[in-house]
Amino acid sequence: MMVELIAELLNRDGIDDWKILERKVEGEEFFFVKDSLDMNRAKRTRKFFVTIYHDFEREGKLYRGSSDFTIYPGMKREEIKSLIEDNIFSSKFVENLYYPVVNEKHTISRTVPLDPESLDRIIHDFPFKSKDVWVNSSEFFLNRVEERIVNSKGVDVSNAFYRLYVEMITTAKSKEEVELYWSFERSYPVVRMEIEEAIMATRERAKAIFTPEVKDIPVILSGESVGEFFKYPLYKTSGLYIYEHLSNVKKGERILNGDFTMWIDPHVEGSAYSLNYDEDGFLCKKVKVIEDSKVMNIWADVRYAYYLGIEPTGHLTNFVVESGKESESSFEDGKYLKVLSFSDFQMDPVTGDFGGEIRLGWYSDGRKKVAVTGGSISGNITKCDFALSAESQLTGNFKGPKSVRITGAQIGGKM
Amino acid sequence: MKVKLSEFLEEKIPILEEIIEKLSQKYRYVSILGSDVRGKRYLVTEDIKISDSNWNERGFVVRIYDGLYLEYSFDEIDDSIVDSLNEKVIKEFERFEGPVLECPLIEEEKEEGVFEGEVEILPETVDAGKKIKMLSSMRDHAYSISESLANFWAIYEEVNVSKVFLSGKKHLNQSYVWTQGYLQAIVRKDEKTKYSYEGYSGMKGAEILEEMVSGVDKVVKEAESLIDSTRIEPGEYDVICSPDVAGVIAHEAFGHGVEMDMFVKGRAKAVEYLGREVASKLVTMHDGARAAKQVASYFFDDEGVIGKDTIIIDKGILKGGISDLISSLRLGTKPTGNGRRESFERKAYSRMTNTFFEPGNDKLDDMISSIKHGYFLEKVSSGMEDPKNWGIQCWILYGREIKDGRLTDRIVSPILMTGYVPDLLKSISMVSEDLELSGVGACGKGHKEFVKVSSGGPYIKARARLG
């Protein structure tokens, strides 16, 4: 057994603690152009991510140096020994304050993930064509991942999960062809309704006009950008950001103007990011981070929690924002700009600046709603107010409201 | 100093050749790409971290032809490879009942070649202690010159690439080193946080650490100057783009737009414009592993095609695209050596390498003085393409206002530049004599498949929508 061999070589002078994360991936992949198979692929890989820790004292203070490296299958004993030697040497120059490794002993907990539908079945049922809209191209990836985390304190735990990733380009035609990009990541099959919504949205882009120049109206974010929007409070409440002086939020203080409640939750159903144990072998916990916009807890892995003197929650898995009380349709009263698809909506979690180019949205002047494309929205979350829809969604590792209505964002349209 | 091929790959070549021979009895085309990419990343900030480079990989991908191309990626070589390929790939293909997009057979010429890169200082000859010491002194100096510094990052990354490509007629080896450095200063005043960065990259060795030392003062002062920046009033402006901004325009505007796997899918509007004017006559644009010496330079691509220098736009006229091997077979064109994989674990697509605009004849001072009201745009955060509908989005760190031909003290930050690609490229009215390429970033296809690229150009004057 490779893990046992590596562990044996790590139990030596110069190493005070160690951890090994073994990751095995078996994957199958299908690539399509329209409804025709372009290529199919498979893969089988195994890696061992190793961290060694080396403790030393300087001027009465205890430090912990470390070095991370990867061991590949097929590496010979001598090659591994030499790699370990190099990394022990490197770790002596890493002068970080001491922190412990996980020392909570769990019995080996082998989890067996639910088998997803086979990729054949998902592809068989996939709606490659619809009225006026077709799938230009699509890619399907289904990975079965098994992880085992072992450390020098006797931790020996495991995760096993499926990760299904589907990417598709949908196309529709009016005067000329238009397209939209979509991706879905789940631990089990993509909900068919989401695909149908994507197809309907493509029809709308085909008749979109350029986003007009408008000012001082609410902007409604819908879909994937909502999760990105909440990355600011997510990272501002992380132990890493606080330790690195990238955030100065404190427990009990209010964060941002809108009302919202946020959790870190390692067990969101359907999420491809749900896990029992993080990469340190720590049993991840569900924690309320923000309640009614007030910071309740800081989330942090074992190391940064130790530095900050707080309870660890584990590395980030999923984050959940509780949905609001108002329906999405109630956001659409009066004038507004609603955006469903951006080229690439981005939130800067350090500064709070956000924005993106609009690929598909709708503008309403209070009487008539038209599909729009082009132009941009931008702003800073600390200067905006926002409200959350009652409807919810799961995108990547975010579960939360399907829409957020923002006031205070700038719209860059065309006169 | 020359960079040698990894011993691991050298040792595996006979076994890989046996696998090829075995599979060639049944399939008309068989190839294997072997990769051994080893690198380290040194980060000094509040903490110090030594880890493997994110670009590290060690494994193989076998490709066979059975009417279309099928692939299997693996990192353990044993007797089960041929059986696994049969079980996991070929049987799945045989079970598939839908239509198939057939593809012509790859007709190879006999080709053998070895490439060994050369750098001034091989990274492994400098010990970790010296690297950490240099980065730590950059961090300490940054704190000594600024009271508003909240955090400082000094990152150095070294990557040693070894690849072999084997098939019935090809036997290619390459080994080279690239390095990159990154400085980031984050400043805070009251509740406002701003940052700036400096990047360093090239087919260089540990000597890049010396280059980084001189950037510390610049990046700290730049970040401090952004504290008093304001947001730009959305609108259309005359702009001067620095070489890194120009490079991202080249990359996003007509780099992604001419990736020829998009031609196969009917996703590229560029197909309708081949041979037509798409940019100002001042614009000539290149892409290619051999077009420049930067982080995306190589001897052969991940499908065993020798890298080239492709002219995409020549004096405003769209000349052609960049292609992977399979797309070129389907289109009946010649591959350009742009078939790249994120790693041996992923599919090869048509991807950019070193993408840039050629320099022109204008002086930067003349370009600034020609603007009544506009902005001098510097430092790119990110970009995104829309190859079908020719939209472009670039996040730019900051812009300095130009009024009546002079730079003012007003700084706007950040800036989102958007627009319609031909409008933007046709608006280019001045091009400077300079040429700078930078390769600290990575390029994705959609939102995945990251590969190392560089981009750049001269300073360009254009008209752009900013928000």
Work out the average pLDDT over A390-414: 95
Q: What 8-state DSSP symbol labels residue A402? A: S
- Please report the pLDDT score of residue A413 as a whole number: 84
CB–CB contact A47 B393 (8 Å) = no
pLDDT single digits (tens) A177-203: 899 999 999 987 777 778 888 988 999
Interface test with B, best of A376, A410, A414 (most B CBs within 10 A): A376
CA pair distance A229, B384, nearest whole angstrom: 18
For A307-367, give the DSSP string: HHTS----S---EEE---SB-HHHHTSSEEEEEEEES--EE-TTT-EEEEEEEEEEEEESS
Any alpha helices (H) in B154-304, and if so which ranges?
A: 208-213, 216-226, 243-250, 261-265
**Which conformational region is residue B315 in: left (phi greater than 0), alpha (psi within -120 to 50 degrees), or beta?**
left
CA pair distance A102, A312, nearest whole angstrom: 10
Write the class of the CATH domain A2-195: alpha beta
Q: Judge contact between A157 and A276, C-beta under 8 A.
A: yes
A302 vs B254, residue with greater confidence: A302
A39 touching B (Cβ < 8 Å): yes
Rg of chain A taking only CA atoms, in angstroms? 24
- What value does the mean pLDDT of chain A take? 93
Q: What is the ipTM of this complex?
A: 0.95
**Amino acid code (one letter) for A319:** F
- Please report the pLDDT score of residue B181 as a whole number: 98
For A131-190, give the DSSP string: TTEEEEEEEEEEEEEEEEEEETTS-EEEEEEEEEEEEEEEEEESSSEEEEEEEEEESSPP
CA pair distance B95, B441, nearest whole angstrom: 41
Closest CA to A174 of A146, A202, A200, A199: A202
Work out the average pLDDT over A133-140: 95
What are the percentages of helix, strand and coil residues in chain B, rounded to 5?
25, 40, 35
Task: Residue A96: list chain B partners with CB under 8 A.
Answer: 47-48
CA pair distance A42, B3, nearest whole angstrom: 32
A31 touching B (Cβ < 8 Å): yes
CB–CB contact B382 A346 (8 Å) = yes
- Please report the pLDDT score of residue B387 as a whole number: 79
Work out the average pLDDT over A12-25: 96
- Please report the pLDDT score of residue A110 as a whole number: 60
Closest CA to B183 of B137, B227, B144: B137
- For chain B, which ranges sit under pLDDT 70? none
Q: Judge contact between A30 and A130, C-beta under 8 A.
A: no
Separation in Å, CA A80 to CA A147, A153, A272: 20, 21, 32
Closest CA to B365 of B259, B465, B457, B461: B461
How many angstroms separate the CA of residue A310 from the nearest CA in chain B?
Answer: 19
CA pair distance A131, B328, nearest whole angstrom: 32
B223 touching A (Cβ < 8 Å): no
Q: Is a pLDDT exceeding 90 seen at residue A262?
A: yes
- Please report the pLDDT score of residue A171 as a whole number: 95
Of B74, B235, B265, the CB nearest to A137: B265
Give Cβ neighbours of residue A360 (< 8 Å, ≥ 6 apart): A180, A201, A204, A205, A208, A339, A340, A341, A371, A372, A373
- Residue A285, judged by CB atoms within 10 A of its CB (0-12, 13-18, 19+), counts as middle
Q: Is a pLDDT exceeding 80 seen at residue A146?
A: yes
Q: Where are the domains of chain A?
A: 2-195, 208-415
Give Cβ neighbours of residue A88 (< 8 Å, ≥ 6 apart): A14, A15, A52, A54, A67
- Please report the pLDDT score of residue A414 as a whole number: 78
Q: Could you give the residue range(s) of every CATH 3.30.2290.10 domain in chain B?
A: 7-226
pLDDT single digits (tens) B184-234: 999 999 888 999 999 999 999 999 999 999 999 999 999 999 999 999 998
Residue with tokens 């829309």: B386
- Please report the pLDDT score of residue A112 as a whole number: 65
A368 touching B (Cβ < 8 Å): no
Q: Judge contact between B73 and B344, C-beta under 8 A.
A: yes
Of B88, B151, B264, the CB nearest to A246: B151
B265 touching A (Cβ < 8 Å): yes
Count of C-beta atoms within a 10 Å radius of residue A406: 20
Sign of the four-CA dihedral B97, B101, B102, B103: negative
Q: Does domain B7-226 have CATH number 3.30.70.600?
A: no
A410 touching B (Cβ < 8 Å): yes
